Every structure is written in structure tokens, then in C-alpha cells.
Chain A
């Protein structure tokens, strides 16, 4: 009986040990400790090692040699930033009080967008703004809207007003060039105006553990039409450049699947991993891709979405000199072709 009671008394102790047996390592606040903490956060949470064929252990070996406990914060930041560049990921940033590391793919490509040119020579400064959307009528009875950031929440009422005021146009250009992303639900709110039935939008997954290949089952999701709201059923062209990133990349990948929509411009900037944030003992924060989003065909669009067939086009210098936007001009042609085909 006494032995039994002893066993019972040990149960709470065992429970504490069971529940807390997972060791969470602590790193020192020195260059070596901060470097190791950064490497470990990415090692346990980053979601594209295999997709990008990155040997993270080899990366550690290479950059660990550059760590010296006498180095300054700026020197440590440079080494850590260079290590993160190996991931080729626009969602991965190291943030310190004096700098933010970045891999912004659009810096390696033509910008393909000049806001002033659009406002002055296409809209003639005659346009309206509602929440984050600038909109107006262009020549050839074409409507135009520029959504500069999906961080700007657009309301259903805003969209009703915008689409109603543009309803006499024969086609619509949605310009998401230089839209670096934001909130995914804003992108869905916009998509919902161009569909009459639920459409599959893609799949989402997440890491389930620290191993590089520990992922959940992909979860299919769809977008519902905005019932009882103003819809647009006429031809649509979406304009893109390499700065169309993250949530915008997702928006373009969904719009591309719609029958009445064409994508014109450059490949989007990608960024299909939902970013999480961690931090180092010295207080620097690090953002990284943690949860991959796949397109409707189950493909990752981390390196961008291609324009529709025959619609990839860069702005030419000659057009720019002539105050013409090559991508916009191509959009007019595509809209005319779509109208003719209907």
C-alpha cells in the first residue's frame, strides 16, 4: 500500500518532467551566440530549403568561420545578412536598429512602372482615390485602377462605388505594379468581384516541426464570390512587374486562372511563403518564409507568376521617352483582342 502511495505521489513530478522535457536552447548575447541563434531559427522554421536546394549546414560552415567575438555589430550584421542572401527570399529580412537586410529580386530587373507617367499622360491627373485604389477612365473607353498596396484595406462599399463608376467601360485594367503585397484577405476581397461562383484559389501548408521536410498536408482553399455586390464580368487585364510581390503574387496567380482575365507585363516578384518572425538575443528580429502557399495546380510561385501567353512585355526606353507605357499599350491591345473574341 505504501509503495502504491509513493508511486501516486511521484505522478505530478513525472508529469512536470514529461511536459517540460523539451529543451529550448538559450544562446549567449555575443556575436557567436547571435549567429547561432539566427542560423537555428532559420534551420527550424524556414520552409524552402529543399525547393531552393539550399544546403543550410554548408552555409553554416561557410559563414561561421567569419564570426569573431571581437567583431562590431555592423560586421556581425553584414555576415548574417550575407548568410540570409543564400536563401534568395524577399520575405527574409534581418532587422537591426541600423539596417535591414533584404533580397529584393525586383532590384535586379527593369522597374517597368512609372506612376507619374500614368497619372499625367494616361489619366491626365483626372482620377479618384478610394482607400488604397486610384481609378479613372482611359482612352478607348477602358477603365483603370491601381492598387498600390494590399496593406491598404479596401471595403466592399469602396469596391461597389469604384466598379459602378467604371461600369460603362468595355474593359478594365487592374494595375498591381509596385504593389509589394500586404494582407491576403484584401486580395481575396478584390478577386471576389470577378467571379460568379466559388473558385479554387490554391493550397496552403505549414511546417509541423523543426525538420526541413516536416510539413502539414496541403489544405485546399477557395474564394467565394461577393454575393449581392457589384461584379465585373467584362474583360480584365492585370498589369504586373517584378515588384508585384507576396500577397500581390498570390492575387495574380488566382486572377490568372479566371477565363476573362489576362496578365500583362513582367513576371511577378514571387514570395509565396507566409512570413513568420523570430528574434535574436541582442534584440534584432528576423523575418522568414514559414508557410508555403501553392497555386491551384499545386506549384510554388516563390520565383513569380508568368504573364499570360504572349503577354510578357517590358517598358522600352523609346516608349518612355515618348511618354508611353509599353505595358499599358499592350494591355489595350489584349483588351481589344478579348473583346473581339467575345
Chain B
């Protein structure tokens, strides 16, 4: 620690940090633009100026930039000296010479760092009376709106986009006062993390296109703490709502999960909740196949009838439904009749559950991923399957360069200096993957292999580290690679093994577990990351019980053991082949489907019940690291919809043996019941405060910021009566602006705001240290902590991959846009998703005379499907990849042998955008 003096007062601050960080950390105000806690310092905006004095006799001092000045013990500073203040006002005045002052029509307005800093710096009157430079804006695609004229040239966007996120198609163009931040030409930004520009840009250059087109002033957004449902990482989010519509999703800082950033699927994928395909009302299928609308009361009656005491009841749960809903379903139907509803990833997922709970190696937190000095990725295109992790891995490769900089006495936050020193130096990141990945640009080595060969590499390296018997039949190159990598592993300090379910092959996960155990025996600091496909895959996996397979359900149905099948938030077509769904539907007299969106499965149901989405209900999700996290409704009026568990609670009324369920009226009661029954889930109660939470003055946490307007007038066009504040009995949050906004538990924070700090830059007011944990504690709670010694698990090394004698071996490939079910219904995500894609090696493409975008017919044992071709030169011989989750490709399975035929005249993606802008492909 160092003692510094600011305006005559002494403070203890962190040694080696920079003055700006130290000042902000002390809770003092110092305006800034180019500095960002995750991006470090470059000294471009010159806004964070203050005065530094040589010694006590120095009464002149000199202007220094806070962000570029290292804290030293005994340093003398002044924030409030009139020269420092005048300088800061001068900087703003200069920045504003070309700014259009278009705040009234700017989507950033009211939540704008530039507005805040302008006010904070005291600049008010414009004295520049010359012409302003103007720019032409670009079309950056369906997600991000560009308005260059608002730019103050802080360079944050390109530093974030290029340096931090690894994007290449956004650059600083031009020079002097004609610098321009954009693309070489109009076009969709390529980075999967482009959406963070919306939050990184301190003004309104990059804004959320969906918000721009469905605009609400920022302070009129009602928000709630939420959890992203678009993958298993469980990023913390803040959805913003007005008039019942989701307007935008912002990042909610969580030090250990997502830090400052989201991926674009998470940010823009929530738009499905506004979809026309949302189920708004219960319906009963009539003989003509049409659905008759039911009131909630009628629906409950029908539900109770179908789930009556004598009914042989089975249930299929869902890894995308909350823990509460899944538990309620399982309780309703009984353990032996409950199926979690996993799809083709089931075997790999079960292997992941074993690795997590019994592997004995801790899962990395976000800072631990970023700190890894050696990364081995076992069978994951992590950018597609768990994007936020990939963004963290992009930071991990910098560690060697940071070390070089440290050796020259350059602090890690000196961003430009560190990058100049490091140049292309990277910490090792090795990928064993089944196709080219989006991390290839930072990987020090990429081997593309068939999944079983990936597993073999893992076992081989584990054996090399354990000095045990190797794996037979590796190629010479593979053997050399294993030997070299083993020595690098021994030299590493913080190794990280990344694997997961994406290959749909359990042997890959077994290999990762064995490897992690071998590495962990060498280094106690070893960490793992396992990806899972959905937001609650692990939560459902943690529910103890028999966990029937879907095949068991079909068998039971065909044996006549099922009267009523309750399908919870699950489109069965995404889980089993169409033929099996048909058989199941034919064998079950009554199917009840509960879901948020209309799916194909609904057509097989006699009763369809509308379920509240993540913006309309509360619940608990368990992410891939085993962290239970709570999400809360942001919409108060959910109409006829109920959370899944509420429907199921009502269904239990007539169940002789489970009428107790009916009494679980509130979420907290459900959580109690789960914890009582399942001790391994006991932690879920502590994931967030319960509904009895009250702040110092006896209020719940507010969902509306203090500036929220129109509360009494919002619905004046419908009724003259002032609406009553909606009551939320289940949540510790109120639909109100009354309540504590500062001393809040992190799990209940709906927005960040501090006097003078209206943008998300106010976050530092809520952090215990800049870039560190929140003062309100770490939201959520980890349910899984490694116990015992690193365990390699029970496994056998698979045989080497042999290309099929005729045909191709199908490998699963995920896509950030399109593979996930719900986000694919968000308009922005739909617009950037590819059509049904088949990935071919260059050799095979040549042999079949196919080029990118050509049509190909893929023939399986069950039938055929037409795809567009993508060529991947690195694809292993004998394999072809298909995009998991695409509506046309749901019947394909990894590991199948398929044959291919050229399909002349296939309509290409660009040609099938219908005139109304809706793609023909589902």
C-alpha cells in the first residue's frame, strides 16, 4: 500500500496502480474517457488531469494524467486546484467542438458518459463558433447503430474491438481531426462481441439498434437483475422494460462470471420474448387440430383433470427451464417418471456432471481464466458454445507479454506500452478441435481431429504427465506434440483445461477430466472449464434421481404406461429424432406442453400452457461452473402467463400423494422444499436474498431508477385512474423507484447509478476495488466445490478414428447465432444466423466440385436434407460438420455416417430473404 495526499488529505491506496484508478477507488470524482477498467490506460483523451507536486515546497505543480501516472508512496496531488479544473474543462470544450449536441434525439441520452463528464468538468458555454466536422455513418448490420458525428475520438471502440476482443473489421481511419471509427465499407460487424461497443462507447456512436428502433429513454426503463439464458455460462444481465416490452439487455457486472462484457447472443438474443410466437394464452387442441383459447381458470381445471389422481403421469423437464420448474415437475410426476429432457448432448453432459462433481479440480472463475498461462482446449469451439469464456481466453494469451512488460517495469494497465513490448508474444493456447475455430488467431497451436482422436490426445498427454503408458497408434507428429506440450505444462504456473459437451462425445469429456487430473497433480492452481449447452443444464443435472432418458419415456408410452405426459419448456424435436416424437405423440393419450414460445411440440399437445419468460418470472439457474443464480421479472403485467412451476403446482392439487405441492405458493417456499429434499442444492436459498429482504428503511430493492418518469401517466390513454404499484410477493424487489440504490446485495441490483454518474461507468462506485468484486458481495452461490484428490475418472481410451469406407463421419458444430433455440427467434440474431450449413473439407469440396454457398444434399439412414456448403480447409479427413440446432438439421446426429450429393440450384441464403424481411428458413 502507498500513502498519497490529495488536496491535503492522506489516503491509503494500492501500490502500483494508476492515480485515476486510485482516485476513483477512493470514491472521489475524476472525469475520464479513454481509460476503461478492462482496457487500461493510453492517455489519449487527457480528461483525467490533475496536479502533481514535486514536494511540499512545490507550489506550482504540474499537470499529469491520472490514468498514466503510477501511484508512488508519498505523492502529492490536487484534484481541486483551479488549474487542474480549468484544464479538465478545456479538454471537454475541445472534445465538444465537433460534437453535434444532438442529445435530445440520441439513444445514449440520459445514460451518457459524455453528458456526465461534461457536467462534472464544469464546461457549460460553447465558445467555439466555427464549423463542425461531419461524417457519413455506416450500416454496421442488424445489431449496432452507428452515428459517427457524436464521436469524441477516445479510441475506446477500436481498443476494445481489436485489442481486447480480437476483431479485425473496425478500425481508426483517417487522422488529425478527421479520425473515423468504422469499417472499411458498410457491413455487419464480424466480432461476436461487437455489442459491447454499446457500453464501451462513452457517447452515442455505437448504440443498440433494437433500442434505437423501439426507443425508450434510458431512465424510463424498468430493470431487474437477470441471468442470460442463451448458454451455460450464466452471464449476469440487466434487461430493461417499458410498456411490457423488453427494450434492451445490458451487462450486469459480476466479477467472477462475466465482468464488464457479454456476447452478442446474450445481449441481442433476449428479443425472442417480444416475439409474435410467444404463447399468450392457454389453449386446448380441438379435433380439427386448431387450438381453442382457455382462460387461466379453465386451463388449470383442464390441467388438473389431466393430472388427476388416477392418471399415469410422466414428465419431461428441460435444461432451459428453471430449477424450480424442473423440481416441481419431478415432484409432480415422481422421480421414476421424470426425464430431464436432454438431447443428443446427453452422454457428454453426464460426463461433464461427473467431472464437475467428482473430478477434484476446481472450475475457473472469469479472473482465473484470464490469468491462465497455459490453456488446452479439448474439443470445443468455445466462441460458439460459451462465447464469454472465449473472450476471457483471448485475455489469457496476453499473460506472457504482460510478464515481459513487468520485467521492464511497465505496469499491466499501461495498455499501449504493454502491447508494444509484447508484440505478437502469446502465452500457449492449444486447441484440439474438430473444425477451424474463432480462436485460431490467438491459438499457438490448433490440431483439427475427429472427436475420438481429440480424446486420444487428452489421454496421451495425461499419460505423458503421469509418466504412465501412452496411447497406442498416435502419429509421429501427435507424439512430438504431446511430448512438447507435456514439458510446457510442467513449466506453467496456472494451467487451464477447457472442454465440454459440444462434440456430443463423452470420450472427449472423459479425456479432459483425465488430463485435468494429471495436470492438477503437477500444479495445485490447475483449473477447468466445462461448457454445457443450456442455461440450466447443470442445474437439472444436479437434481438427484433416476433421470430417465427420452428413450425410456417413449418405451413407457408405447407400453401404455403413460396417460398424461407433461412437457416442460422443451421442444422435443430438438431432443430426439422426428420419428420418435411422432411415436411418442401417438402412444400418449394426453400431452400437456408448457412453454414460452410456440414450438412444433405444441402441435402434439392436447393442452398448451403459456409460460412466463425470464423477463416475466423469477427462478434459479445453475451455470456451467455450478453457480446457482437468481433471475427476477422485469415485466409486471404478465397476462395469462405463469412461471412453469406455478402451473405445475396447480396441477398437483388433485394428486393424492403430492397435494403438499399446492401449498408452495411462493418461490421461497419452493426453494425451501428443494433444499430440504436435495441437500446438494441447499445453497440455492442463499443465491439471493429471499422475498422478506428489506433495506434500512424497510423497503424492497427498486426496479426503477430514481429518474423514472410517467409512472402515473403511462397508461393514461387506457384509464384515468392512477394504477396501483404492482405487487411482487415472490421477489425481494418492488416495481417501484422507492428503495435503496447503493447498499444493496449484488444479486438485487437492478441498475447502477450514482449522483453525477448516470451511465454504466458509475459501476466503480459499487466495486470494492476497481475491476474487482462488488461491495454488495458476489451474486449467486457455487453449489459445486471440488472435493478429494484430482480424479481421472473411469475411462477407456477410444480407438483411433477411421474415416468411413464410404461416406462421411458427421461431427457436431455449434454456431453462436443459430444453434441456441430461443435466441434464434430474436430478430437481430435471426438476421445474422446462417442457413442450414454443412461444413466440408477443402479436399472433399474439390472432389464433389462444390464451393462455398453451393447446395448439397446430405443423406442419412432416416432421410435427406439440403444444406449450404461452407468449406473449412482444416476439417479432418473423412468428416463433415453440421450446424447443431438449426431447424432443418435437427435430425442429424454426431457420429452418423452420411453420404452427400451435389444439389444444383439450391436457393442461397442471400436469395431467400423474403420481401417482408423474414427468412424462409426457419
A and B physically associate: no
B binding-site residues for A, Cβ under 8 Å = none
A binding-site residues for B, Cβ under 8 Å = none
